[in-house]
A and B are shown apart, each in its own frame.
Chain A
Amino acid sequence: MRDDGRRARIMAAVTVRDPAAGVSELTQRLCRFAVDEMALSGCALVLMPTAESTTVLAGAGRHARTVTGLQMELGEGPCLQAYASGVPVLLPDLAAENANRWPAFATAALAAGVRAEFSLPLSVGPGGIGTLDLCRDTPGMLSEEHLADALVAADIARDAVLYQPYAQVGPDLVELLATIGTDRVVIHQATGMIAVQLDETMSNALARLRAAAFASGRSIYDIAQDVVERQVRFDE
């Protein structure tokens, strides 16, 4: 089932200088490897404790954060589908997706210059911990070789996050998680404030925040910033 030769080749490519690299360095190199090897415009390793919060652990390429950011904005998209279903979502031509599964996402991604998106789940048994997302600024399917490499890269990333170099989720990863994605923190803070303003659940408060961003054409981050700075209230 596992392609040991492929795994060994990719591991060698990402550990060449420093075999003892921590999870942060290793996942970063994996994304870089994918971008270079597969001519991608972006690759990101995204951790998701739930479908409602995403943390970009590592990324490479100019579109590294584009796809994840849009899905956080819109609450829909291929990464969320891959995470929820445990099955890869392969979209070789987003222009053809336009009217289909994710109209809002496809339109926004095209506007940002993304033409193809491939989202691979980081599966653990029946569940998962996130996705490895690959995108291109040109349409077209990944070759079989590249897809096979990407699937193995997703396995390596998952194992790196879960195993390396500690027996449990150790201080390395915890520290890393405490310092990354700080621009997303404000979204969760604003969600808490809106939940109080509307006497609502966190899920509904986040949905209201998204809806406000979508309706105003601004980013969810900007609106959240306004909420935290008390420029905007939701109970008025």
Chain B
Amino acid sequence: MSENGGGRAAQSGEPGPDVHSSDVSREAVLARAFVRLADTLASDFDVVDFLQSLATDSVEILGAEAAGVMLADPRGGLRLIASSDERMRLLELFELQGAQGPCLDAFSSGRPVQASAADSRARWPVFAPEASDAGFQMMCAVPLRVRTDVIGALNLFRGTDEPFTGAEMDIAQAMAEMAAIGLIQERALRERSLLAEQLQAALNSRVIIEQAKGMLAEYLAMNVDDAFKLLRNYVRDHNRKLSEVARDIVNRKISRAELTTGPGQQP
């Protein structure tokens, strides 16, 4: 069922192991998954693809039937970002709509959650029948967490009533934490890069304004202070930004003639 659902999963290009993989190949799959989870600083990073891999990998590694990943939006509400198949997607959307279920509990508590069909009927009376109708009997969720910072949750479902073992819960938590670290690093880098660009632009503008002053001074055989007055007049008369006009002068997009005619020429 999970094999035919995810178009994105099929694109990952990873050779899938046998359905009942040995411990050795499971270790290899796990190792590959961790490498993917660490790789968030590439220039073509895409958060949806990244979390889609987390969903697909966790299904394979933890012997689940389906998985979904939710992330907190800036207002603190959860949004469904990736799921291993369409049935899972609908169920997770239902979980969000009903505002109850394992993913929400893992997110709000910051702790792993596991429930059988009977447990789930007691804990989440609205959600449990939907999960049961979708064919799921055992469910767990782990927070996407870095220290005390919880940014989302990973949900896993089984069609059988076999509980997730302690070791499986540990692996799920480790994968979720790894994903959270990667996402937080990626966000920090994106923010820093934006600030760095603004800083570089501000510094570079200063250089270009000085160069433009020099050009004007040379064009008009005046000193640089008078050239700057003329430049400011031009900027004011044309209602433009100083840094833009300076750039146009340096790139010779504004001609010498344009600068010396018009209402701005009188000091």
A 146-191 contacts with B by CB, 8 A = 161-163, 168-169, 173-174, 177-178, 185, 188-191
With known contacts A53-B204, A178-B206, A202-B250, A129–B214 Cβ distance under 8 A: no
With known contacts A162-B199, A202-B250, A192–B193 Cβ distance under 8 A: no
A50 at the binding interface (Cβ < 8 Å): yes
Taking a contact as CB atoms under 8 Å apart, the answer to whether B192 and A124 are in contact is yes
Q: Interface size bucket, B side?
A: 20 to 34
Taking a contact as CB atoms under 8 Å apart, the answer to whether B211 and A202 are in contact is yes
Taking a contact as CB atoms under 8 Å apart, the answer to whether A124 and B214 are in contact is no
With known contacts A50-B204, A193-B218, A196-B215, A124–B210 Cβ distance under 8 A: no
Q: B196 is contacted by which of A50, A127, A173, A197 (Cβ under 8 Å)?
A: A127
Q: Beta-carbon contacts of B169-191 to A below 8 Å, as 1s and 0s?
A: 00000000000000000000100
Q: What residues of A have a CB within 8 angstroms of the CB of B122 in the complex?
A: none
B 148-205 contacts with A by CB, 8 A = 189, 192-193, 195-196, 198-204
CB distance from A164 to the nearest CB of B (A): 11
With known contacts A192-B215, A196-B219, A168–B198 Cβ distance under 8 A: yes
B43 at the binding interface (Cβ < 8 Å): yes
B30 at the binding interface (Cβ < 8 Å): no
Taking a contact as CB atoms under 8 Å apart, the answer to whether A53 and B203 are in contact is yes
Give complex CA distance A163, B194 in Å: 11
Q: B214 is contacted by which of A47, A127, A193 (Cβ under 8 Å)?
A: A193
Q: What residues of A have a CB within 8 angstroms of the CB of B213 in the complex?
A: 189, 192
Chain B interface, >50% SS class: helix
Q: What residues of B have a CB within 8 angstroms of the CB of A126 in the complex?
A: 43
Taking a contact as CB atoms under 8 Å apart, the answer to whether A189 and B189 are in contact is no
Q: What residues of A have a CB within 8 angstroms of the CB of B224 in the complex?
A: 189, 228
A55 at the binding interface (Cβ < 8 Å): yes
B217 at the binding interface (Cβ < 8 Å): yes
Give complex CA distance A20, B206 in Å: 27
Taking a contact as CB atoms under 8 Å apart, the answer to whether B203 and A49 are in contact is yes
Q: What residues of A have a CB within 8 angstroms of the CB of B142 in the complex?
A: none
Taking a contact as CB atoms under 8 Å apart, the answer to whether B207 and A188 are in contact is yes
- Closest B residue to A57 by CB, please name it: B203
Q: What residues of A have a CB within 8 angstroms of the CB of B217 in the complex?
A: 189, 192-193, 228
Q: What residues of A have a CB within 8 angstroms of the CB of B54 in the complex?
A: none
A125 at the binding interface (Cβ < 8 Å): yes
Q: What residues of B have a CB within 8 angstroms of the CB of A188 in the complex?
A: 207, 210-211, 214
Q: What residues of A have a CB within 8 angstroms of the CB of B203 in the complex?
A: 47-49, 53, 55, 177
Additional A-B contacts beyond A169-B198, A195-B215 (13; CB < 8 A): A48-B203, A49-B201, A49-B207, A52-B207, A124-B196, A125-B192, A162-B196, A168-B198, A178-B206, A188-B210, A190-B214, A193-B217, A195-B211
A-B pairs with beta carbons under 8 Å apart, 6 shown: A49-B203, A169-B198, A189-B210, A195-B214, A195-B250, A197-B218
